Structure 1
Amino acid sequence: MSTQVSTVANDNIAIAVHNVSKCHLIYDTPRDRLKQFLMPRLQRMAGQRQKTYFHEFWGLKNVSFEVKRGETVGVIGRNGAGKSTLLQIICGTLTPTIGRVETKGRVAALLELGAGFNPEFTGRENVYLNAALLGLTKEEIDNRFDDIAAFADIGEFLELPVKTYSTGMSVRLAFAVQSVIDPDIFIVDEALAVGDEKFQRKCFTRLESLKNNGCSILFVSHSPTSVVELCDRALFLEAGERLMYSGAAKAVRAYQKLIYAAPEVQKELAERYRVTDQSGEVAEFQSDDLPCAGDTTGPSDAFDPGLVPETTTRYAVQGAEIEGIEIRNASDQIVNLLRPGGDYQFIITGEFRKSFPKVYFGVHIKTISGVEVTGQRYPQEGTYVENVQAGQKFAVKFGFKMAMLPGVYFVGGGVWSSEEPTCLHRMLDALMFRVISLGRAKSFGYVDVSSMEPEVILR
């Protein structure tokens, strides 16, 4: 028995999945599909034993979980684990064979790339079509169209047929439509992996905003790091079954341990996870490893004019104004392609608009998904730069030895006062930089703190 998506009675629960199973009928040939349509009826009329011409594949098996309002849940598992099937059932585009799904509020989903777009329609026409299907009136779409167009940022292509779009442009427009309608539930199935680093950062910023507004998010990703950073909890699926529903870091460690285990150990490990998940016990892990940062190759100490963030946010000017943030190397060149282990200065420049008795400065570095990896304050905690005067210019230099692993990062900074208003000015994602790869990575995560070459002694 299956039931359609309905409304959750508990106001604190956005999604409730109850014992959902999905059976797919697999036919070896198109002829078998026709036989299955005709032969059982003829066999029944003739009083013969009915024969089937398919075999069953259960993509999901008795999966249950709940997602709270404002909660972000990652869905992890190997290819074929049932992640996409589960999301399609929650969205209502697939019907469960057994069980039921309940949701509360407007559901927006970014599943298959370009899904829901008419390739013959222009981008503008598809915006109106998709938004209307999501329940918006023409007036509501008119009011939000400029925001959608600005977020997608595909320029004149908005007036061209979608069939002329690249994959990246299609996902930009799809994400813009789905996220700008202010959904109660937002479901993303690996689509963000297509965009470049700047667009990914833009999307993660939007996801953070949706979450802060009470939106519940289901996020499927093959990037364990993104799941740990973004999600409150994670659902670990294996062969269509729920192995674990727990804190994101715990579920990711379990997933990594399983996929890297020897084949003969995986079945036993999966059963142990299943038992501990059902009993509520805490599973033991021998490895807390997180995935390696991706390698990126390129020249050393250079400037790439294309590395310009799309998510720069300037706070209100309340007595001081940051005019710029830049990175300079030991030769005093402005750079944004940095060498691992190199020495750099992150420089914040600006001007005080008012006089203040005590101020301090800060700079931070964030990942694409918005995790604050490191930062510095000047002067140190509890001390201040005293008696700054209106009209004074400032340039604050923070020294960094680049211990970050290869990847793309975002820089922001600010000026604060000991008195109200405390935040005189702040910029988020003021610039972005890339740490290049000089060879195979020997560390993982974001920071390389190794001090010597690893050594193995065999006795």
Structure 2
Amino acid sequence: MSSDYAINVSAVGKSFRMYDRPHHRLFQGLFAGEGKKWYREFQALQDVNLQVTHGETVGIVGKNGSGKSTLLQIICGTLQASYGDVLVHGRVAALLELGAGFNPEFTGRENVYLNGAVLGLTRREVSDRFDSIAHFADIGEFIEQPVKTYSSGMYIRLAFAVAINSDPKILVVDEALSVGDEAFQRKCFGRIEELKANGCTVLFVSHSAGTIVQLCDRAVLLDEGRILMTGRPKDVVAAYQRLLYAPAERRADMRRQLLERNESKGNVAAGRTDLDAVNLNAVNDDPTVRRARISVNDVSLAERYDAELKPASTVHYAENGARISEPHIVNAAGKRVNILVPGQLYSYRYTVEFDKPAFQVSFGMMIKSLTGVELFGMSSHADGEFISQVEAGRVFAIEFRFMSRFLPGAYFMNAGCNGRLENGSAGFLHRIVDADIFKIEQKATNRSKAGFYDLAAEPSCQFVEQGAATDVGVGFN
């Protein structure tokens, strides 16, 4: 296997023996030669192929039990694969679980030296870095106390501080950054960005879609031990969420379709994407690591509707008692637009039709960046104000008002309807990801600003049932 890859996983599988009774494990040892099995095999991973290049950041998503942690443990060498090959080039720093590698009876200081040795550092190297480790962990005098007295947040602070100060070539993180306060999480993400800039390879598991989109160059969807999709983080996260919220009777078919598409395309996300829909110029032909920029040839500042500006990445969730239609943006005069002007008031509208009775109903929206970062979202159930009951056949017109304070770029709109059905199931009654797109065009006067958003005014939402004798709605500012 080539050393061109920092991590090269080839046809890896892992199975575990599942015993129904504790004594069956003994029977298996005593009577193994008689041909009878006292266990069932659980296939945690099946023929997994994954190559990660040097300096790449790859995120892995999937529901609980999909095999994510098993795969990371095999890559880190703490678990042996049942078959297949794994080749890793460079020092690996891993955060696989809370406090892994710590002796609870040792003090924080003693565990720093112990953990450093596990990571391949000499005692002198750990001593030289100890002050930096202690400063990053920021647990004060507890560094001299046994770690069995630590809170979960203190555990992960110290473990992460040791890992990132070991100068790793490969950093493996398994959901560990969900522990700790916001300030520490931001410090961790900042340090990861610094490691990435220095060429460190990062393998990252998280249930946070925003984190995967924001940190990763590429994402992998793992389900039932098999890779269903590999590609741009935004596309993979959208597929994962669609699969996660799909009705149980449709999930198997969706999984099969993803698997067949992935195998036919050799684990590379292909096809036309939302990047193609907004006149982007790729600077790398590989769609898995594509970098793009918006074309700024047209610098017209007038708001208008461009019929060619349409999202090609729209994802429809399964309809579960409701159907969203006609998502679009209008200006203050009620005219449909998708080229917006900063500083003006706009309304995002869509229609929801119910074909089943529903309860505790609410409506929502989300504005996202081109790469899928969630910039702003809101729901109609402000202060807990749901619609208590909606009968089948009713239709609602939804409107979210917002002031355009976005900087030049392309932005995507989601639309969603939540509620509970008569059978008790709750969640999305319908949702559309990347339902609509709008664009703020480049202009020379704002080149000194960076980011996405520029001090927006307070938005508002209202909804009105269509066809009612008296308008029924709720609005808030």
> TM exceeds 0.5?
yes
- Cα distance change on mapping 1:99 and 1:457 into 2, 3 Å: farther
Matched, 1:35 2:35: no
Contact 1:23–1:58 under 8 Å retained in 2: yes
TM-superposed CA distance for 1:286, in Å, is 2.2
Amino acid at match of 2:7: I
Q: Superposed, which structure 2 residues align to 1:262-273 within 5 Å?
A: 262-273=247-258
Secondary structure, in 3 states, of the residue corresponding to 2:120?
coil
Matched, 1:220 2:205: yes
Unaligned stretches of 5+ in structure 1?
1-7, 44-49, 296-340, 344-378, 385-397, 404-449
- Cα deviations across residues 14-56 of structure 1 (Å, max 9, x unaligned)? 1011011100000011100000000123x3xxxxxx2110000
TM-superposed CA distance for 1:130, in Å, is 0.6
**Which residue in the other structure is 1:104 paired with?**
89
Matched, 1:23 2:23: no
Please, which of 57, 63, 68 is the counterpart of residue 83 of structure 1? Answer: 68
**Which residue in the other structure is 2:3 paired with?**
10
Contact 2:109–2:143 under 8 Å retained in 1: yes
- Cα distance change on mapping 1:85 and 1:382 into 2, 3 Å: closer
**Which residue in the other structure is 1:250 paired with?**
235
Unaligned stretches of 5+ in structure 2?
273-312, 318-365, 367-371, 379-400, 404-443, 469-477
Q: Which has the higher contact order (CA 8 A, sep 6+)?
A: 1
**Which residue in the other structure is 2:155 paired with?**
170
Contact 1:40–1:51 under 8 Å retained in 2: yes
**Which residue in the other structure is 1:400 paired with?**
455
TM-superposed CA distance for 1:265, in Å, is 1.1
Could you tell me how far apart the structure 1 residues matched to 2:36 and 2:197 are? 55
Secondary structure, in 3 states, of the residue corresponding to 2:115?
helix
- Cα distance change on mapping 1:282 and 1:272 into 2, 3 Å: farther
Could you tell me how far apart the structure 1 residues matched to 2:252 and 2:447 are? 55
- Cα deviations across residues 90-124 of structure 1 (Å, max 9, x unaligned)? 00000110101111100110011011000000000
**Which residue in the other structure is 1:274 paired with?**
259
Normalised to the residue count of structure 1, the TM-score between the two structures is 0.62
Please, which of 114, 122, 142 is the counterpart of residue 157 of structure 1? Answer: 142
- Cα deviations across residues 326-349 of structure 1 (Å, max 9, x unaligned)? xxxxxxxxxxxxxxx999xxxxxx
- Cα distance change on mapping 1:453 and 1:126 into 2, 3 Å: same
Contact 1:276–1:282 under 8 Å retained in 2: no
Matched, 1:121 2:150: no
Could you tell me how far apart the structure 1 residues matched to 2:463 and 2:12 are? 48
Contact 2:402–2:460 under 8 Å retained in 1: no
Could you tell me how far apart the structure 2 residues matched to 1:126 and 1:136 are? 13
- Cα distance change on mapping 1:153 and 1:268 into 2, 3 Å: same
Contact 1:254–1:285 under 8 Å retained in 2: no
**Which residue in the other structure is 1:286 paired with?**
315
Could you tell me how far apart the structure 1 residues matched to 2:129 and 2:402 are? 45
- Cα distance change on mapping 1:251 and 1:382 into 2, 3 Å: closer
**Which residue in the other structure is 2:215 paired with?**
230
Report the count of equivalent residues: 311
Point out the more displaced range, 134-143 or 119-128. Answer: 134-143
Matched, 1:453 2:462: yes
Secondary structure, in 3 states, of the residue corresponding to 2:210?
helix
Contact 1:106–1:184 under 8 Å retained in 2: yes
Contact 2:45–2:67 under 8 Å retained in 1: yes
- Cα distance change on mapping 1:245 and 1:123 into 2, 3 Å: same
- Cα deviations across residues 175-195 of structure 1 (Å, max 9, x unaligned)? 000111110100000011011
Could you tell me how far apart the structure 1 residues matched to 2:80 and 2:116 are? 23
Amino acid at match of 1:286: V
TM-superposed CA distance for 1:292, in Å, is 9.8
TM-superposed CA distance for 1:380, in Å, is 4.0
- Cα distance change on mapping 1:238 and 1:455 into 2, 3 Å: farther
Q: Superposed, which structure 2 residues align to 1:45-64 within 5 Å?
A: 50-64=35-49
Secondary structure, in 3 states, of the residue corresponding to 1:61?
strand
- Cα deviations across residues 366-422 of structure 1 (Å, max 9, x unaligned)? xxxxxxxxxxxxx944799xxxxxxxxxxxxx993455xxxxxxxxxxxxxxxxxxx
- Cα deviations across residues 130-166 of structure 1 (Å, max 9, x unaligned)? 1011111111111111110000000000000000100
Percent sequence identity over aligned pairs? 50
Secondary structure, in 3 states, of the residue corresponding to 1:400?
coil
Q: Superposed, which structure 2 residues align to 1:329-344 within 5 Å?
A: none
